[in-house]
Structure 1
Amino acid sequence: MKISIIYHSKTGRTKRIAEIISEGIKENKDFQVKLMNLDEIDYGFLTESKGVVFGTPTYYANISWQMKKWFDESWNCNLEGKIGAVFATGDYLGGGSDAALLTLINHMMVKGMLVYSGGSALGQPYIHMGIVALKDLDADLIKKTKIFGNRIASKALELFGDGDEVL
């Protein structure tokens, strides 16, 4: 089963979170994960993906303009029915990363995606909307981020099959 992680990263921090989410996804069986910066999107892989995770840095309590531009111009990219999840990076608590997550979720809903986070139903760690990574990546955040990736993979398996199909 395939999952795409699409992100915009200027400093490398958002890319690093994408890599950690990918590690968590791959803890589940039979997953192919492709990390794609906005200017390197493999639309063939994206089309075949059962899930897409979007990540953005936070600027003024919003997603990056590059991510917004991609959503605005990707009208021919069919994401309907795919499981979708989000993450954001920011510089400080209260910097608006939660608003950036909600903006991504709004775009995903317009695209017809099935939005997923795990919420509080799965217990600790609670990940209500998506991962938010502030400045330094400590061991606790890395652990939570891997769990987030693993939960996305588990839900994709539950919704779309057991992963035994030919990749």
Structure 2
Amino acid sequence: MSKILVLYHSNSGNTAKMATEVAAGAQEVLDAEVRLLSIDQATTADLDWCEGIAVGSPTNYGTVSWQMKQWWDNQPLENWGQRDGRIGCAFSSAASWGGGQELTCMTLNAILMNYGYLVFGVTDLTGPQHTLHYGAIQAGSPRQEKEIAGCRRLGRRLAEWVAVYFHGRQEQHPLRQDYARFEHLK
């Protein structure tokens, strides 16, 4: 069983909606157990439990919310280095395009890297001119199909990588999947 944690902070509900879609994408992979938790619900035990984590934050002034940063800052020091080799990714929403969502994802990825997580991006296009290289990004709530598909692809990719690297399930490797990856480049 692949253990996936979707951990998020949300001010307006937009990042929470993204988190729900990321979790739905992770559940598309056979034998994935998914926990969807806000930072108000999650504990250090949830980090101990998971093999893969998707972390989401609203973009506040071009970076991660102070609440999400504080959640990580408050992790016990003895947990440092205990997550080495686990897999992580990021997602973020802002009020408008160009609000710093990719910077927020990069900051979240840096936080994960400092804890020893292996982070990844996604090269797939989930719609015309819509990809998630640094993580899933959004202006407001995901409404269009390509936006929802982007969130779901991030969650699915996380669950695929956990299945491959933690459980040796090579059939789950992203390059062995039959979903469209680049059809919108045509």
User: Which residue in 1 is equivalent to 2:20?
Assistant: 19
Q: How does 1:89-108 map to 2 (within 5 A)?
A: 89-108=93-112
Aligned to 1:32: 33
Aligned to 1:45: 46
Q: Which runs of 4+ in 1 moved over 3 A?
A: 75-78
Shift in Å at residue 7 of structure 1? 0.6
TM-score, normalising length: structure 1: 0.89
2:60 is paired with a residue whose SS is coil
Q: Give the number of the structure whose residues are more often strand, by fraction.
A: 2
Q: Determine which structure has more spread, i.e. the larger CA radius of gyration.
A: 2
Cα separation, 2, equivalents of 1:6 and 1:58: 15
Structure 2 distance, partners of 1:6, 1:76, is 21
Q: Which one-letter code corresponds to 1:129 in the other structure?
A: Y
Cα deviation, 1:56-82, whole Å, max 9, x if unaligned, reads 000110110001111212134432221
Q: Contact conserved, 1:79 with 1:111, CA < 8 A, in 2?
A: yes
Post-superposition offset of 1:19: 0.6
Counterpart of 2:159 (choices 112, 135, 153) is 153
Name the amino acid aligned to 1:96. Answer: G
User: Mind listing any 5+ residue stretches in structure 2 that lack a counterpart?
Assistant: 170-186
Larger displacement relative to structure 2 (71-80 or 126-135): 71-80
Q: What is the one-letter code of the residue matched to 1:65?
A: W
Query: Normalised by the size of structure 2, how large is the TM-score?
Result: 0.80
Match of 1:83 in 2: 87
Q: 2:21, 2:58 → 1: CA distance?
A: 16
The number of aligned residues is 160
Identity of aligned residues (%): 29
